[in-house]
Structure 1
């Protein structure tokens, strides 16, 4: 990407010595910062659009899980074949809304493969997509990938008619497209987020570490999207039929694409609606952080970087508990707390809403503590990670001893999930501090570890539950705490919040 200032103009780093460039730049930042902050700005509008994108991705992630019970409803006789004949046969089988849509004779094993296809695509594409995110304009990558994911979502009902194989292929493609959106959006903030507002803007906009597509997201837009799907998905299936879930979420995605291309720009200097004061504030704030797109990666230095490994280990350990709760929350509510299926949807939405609120508040609190110099950035990252891990482990382990009380159990579940959202302001965004230049690639790398955790944790948890329900859940929560706590110690000891030498421009090495 060429320098937008042109060849004939020096960048802030190229000012002649003794000209007072640094002092004048600091003065410019102070001059405009007092009137450039606030939520009525283009950069906060960009965060809102990105949250809409992540909201859309989450609805598209979860809609198959919501619709699948209706697609393979056991009360309806299996159709003899897929395709138009299947639809006609099903229509003649039973009256009512179920008869209006086809029902498929998919075995539980095949259903598991279909549900995991999205994860497979995201797992395979995490690192390549993270690398690509640093090479091309984020606006084009995000817009095109969101468009692909939305179109695929609209095609899912027709793919199911054509056969499970085509449905699996489309879900893999959708997983790849969504990973590109997740990794590329971090590149947007390299030129749009002033350092003192970075926590606030990123936390408000991202999907959180929604690496595994079936995981319970911590990001604001994703939590809101998950809450909406849980509340509305069942209603749509019962009233309009299960295809409506895909059509609605796909249509929302297409509407988001129509907003994305005319309203989003990679560089604030070229945005047609930004004020001169806000543009100057952003440019001056980031003057010392100008970056050019990388063409190679310091892989050897990355492999030797203990601060980077502390982040990756923390991603794995934090997402272990989140993935267990996501996969088995309805099962826990129904089998342990004896909650009806209709009420479990409301309770799940309540918990997702708590995550949404706590994620926003955590980002705002971190920015206040950092901007007022109450705590250093490293202390903030470590403190919020410790709060998220310790309190979520405490409340989750305690669930086994309060299961006789419904209200206390629900309160502990909400508190454990709300506490875990504080990790989003801690270790889960720490890669932006140590290597902002490679944020897209490192986000993709971290998704590998979150996906790995998301694959292993539900499998191990299912084994425990199959042995004995009561002792199984106690062992699940104890194992989650046993994995979370060493990961926390590893992060507290080895984490850093300053840009590492290997992440700077002059430290480039060939792949």
Structure 2
């Protein structure tokens, strides 16, 4: 390990330097918990349709005919793929504040979820329109949260705080998949939308009441915590009113995140969209068995996100590992690990238990990326973190559009050899992204990201 990777040039402000600033019941950890429940509900609202849809439509006997050659006895797996965020979401968060944008994003999604049963009765066009409007509300949430953490997360607690808040997305999927199935079985599918929609509206009122955009305007924060947060961020935030678009778009560390995010999402979509197709067409997993198997990978990812966030900040604070070293290591684990198991998935034959294990391990290891490239936006440009996330995630939507098309072209005969090629391509892209990030990523606040243009390291 190189000396410059072991030590930060500008030491990070440790909590002990300002005295004891408790984490329990603090404003910043309360924000993380409220965000956790917000993303929990957001992803619950995303996946509920995939479960309720089984009871919403009449089975079509003609669909039972399948000319595909199946290799194995019948089994099943289905997994929902979340949407991505865009550049406008990050820009709006920087202008109107993350609190309102995230709050109304989830509130709007909840309201349209409540309207879903009515839209379904009116016709498929209305249902599609409602889901599109839900997507618009969801699309601004991650940039909004990144924008808020730029003012709330002390550098040495970023991994912990962000991992707690974003882990709600995984837990929302874990809980909502089986719960939605139970509601459909024992009650009626409409209550799936009514329950989660109502909870989302209730969350919105707590969010608006308890949360503030910045520590300076929070009504219940302690003086010690406010000073701790502001002191730790005083040299990292910009007072510029205009966005430095040219430096952002020509920044190598920014493009390192773009490449990593793009590459990770390629494998992400392969695992969560194409691998279930492989299991259905080749391994013949049965749809009736999908509840637990669909939730298991998300639970593993949730656990990994929480633990990796704690470990990342522990390495930075007590072991004096530099920010860039931790980000690179966690990204390498979170991208190369899933790539290896993705390749292995092409050689599992009819071993169903191994197939489930590979999916779970791959998705679990991907959780390391939350404390890797996923929050590196805050390391290099805290004031523009929401905008950077919007940029990187816009590129990261491309695999969701291109990946399935390429896979369809390559697997027209649905043979094992064709699917192995699909897995090789996805794994290669993932490894390339991990190596590119390891070579060009930075843990330093970039000079264009601070108004004084001084050089800082965090």
TM range (shorter): 0.7 to 0.9
Please list the CA deviations of residues 226-267 of structure 1 after superposition, one character each: whole Å capped at 9, or x if unmatched: 111221122222232222221122111111102101111122
Counterpart of 1:261? Answer: 208
Please list the CA deviations of residues 110-169 of structure 1 after superposition, one character each: whole Å capped at 9, or x if unmatched: xxxxx99x95xx66xx11221111011222222222211111111111122223333323
Partner residue of 2:119 out of 159, 168, 182: 159
Counterpart of 1:50? Answer: 35
Counterpart of 2:71? Answer: none
Partner residue of 2:303 out of 357, 366, 384: 357
Change (3 A) 1:194 1:26: closer
Counterpart of 1:222? Answer: 169
Distance in 1, Cα, partners of 2:222 & 2:241: 33
Native 8 Å contact 1:59 1:249 kept in 2: yes
Q: Describe how 1:19-418 pairs up with structure 2 within 5 A.
A: 30-33=16-19, 35-74=20-59, 126-206=86-166, 220-292=167-239, 294-418=240-364
Native 8 Å contact 1:32 1:278 kept in 2: no
Please state whether the residue corresponding to 1:430 is helix, strand or coil: helix
Distance in 2, Cα, partners of 1:329 & 1:154: 32
Runs ≥4 in structure 1, deviation > 6 angstroms?
none
> What is the TM-score normalised by the length of structure 2?
0.86
Native 8 Å contact 1:54 1:205 kept in 2: yes
Distance in 1, Cα, partners of 2:278 & 2:182: 22
Change (3 A) 1:284 1:400: same
> What is the TM-score normalised by the length of structure 1?
0.78
Q: Describe how 1:462-501 pairs up with structure 2 within 5 A.
A: 462-501=408-447
Native 8 Å contact 1:48 1:204 kept in 2: yes
Native 8 Å contact 2:159 2:309 kept in 1: yes
Native 8 Å contact 2:281 2:414 kept in 1: no
How many angstroms does 1:459 deviate by? 2.6
Change (3 A) 1:396 1:298: same
Distance in 1, Cα, partners of 2:138 & 2:192: 18
Q: Describe how 1:442-461 pairs up with structure 2 within 5 A.
A: 442-461=388-407
* Unpaired runs of at least 5, structure 1: 1-21, 78-114, 207-219
Distance in 2, Cα, partners of 1:426 & 1:449: 18
Distance in 2, Cα, partners of 1:184 & 1:340: 39
Native 8 Å contact 2:341 2:358 kept in 1: yes
Please list the CA deviations of residues 263-313 of structure 1 after superposition, one character each: whole Å capped at 9, or x if unmatched: 111222333332333223222222333444x54222222222111111111
Change (3 A) 1:463 1:38: same
Distance in 1, Cα, partners of 2:61 & 2:387: 47
Name the larger-Rg structure. Answer: 1
Change (3 A) 1:302 1:137: closer
Please state whether the residue corresponding to 1:288 is helix, strand or coil: coil
Please state whether the residue corresponding to 2:213 is helix, strand or coil: coil
Please list the CA deviations of residues 25-71 of structure 1 after superposition, one character each: whole Å capped at 9, or x if unmatched: 979x63544x2143442211110100111011101112222222322
How many angstroms does 1:504 deviate by? 2.1
Q: Describe how 1:421-460 pairs up with structure 2 within 5 A.
A: 421-460=367-406
Native 8 Å contact 2:262 2:395 kept in 1: yes
Paired residues in the alignment total: 427
How many angstroms does 1:388 deviate by? 1.3
Please list the CA deviations of residues 56-96 of structure 1 after superposition, one character each: whole Å capped at 9, or x if unmatched: 1101112222222322231699xxxxxxxxxxxxxxxxxxx
Please list the CA deviations of residues 460-499 of structure 1 after superposition, one character each: whole Å capped at 9, or x if unmatched: 2233343224223312211111211222222111111111
| Structure of greater relative contact order (alpha carbons < 8 Å, 6+ residues apart) | 2
Change (3 A) 1:251 1:346: same
Distance in 1, Cα, partners of 2:285 & 2:414: 19
Please state whether the residue corresponding to 2:132 is helix, strand or coil: helix
- Which segment is superposed worse, 334-343 or 45-54? 334-343
Please list the CA deviations of residues 408-464 of structure 1 after superposition, one character each: whole Å capped at 9, or x if unmatched: 332222211111111121112211111111111111112211211112122322333
Please list the CA deviations of residues 371-413 of structure 1 after superposition, one character each: whole Å capped at 9, or x if unmatched: 1244211111111111111111111211222334333332222
* Unpaired runs of at least 5, structure 2: 1-9, 63-79, 454-458
Change (3 A) 1:290 1:423: closer
Counterpart of 1:90? Answer: none
Native 8 Å contact 2:271 2:342 kept in 1: no
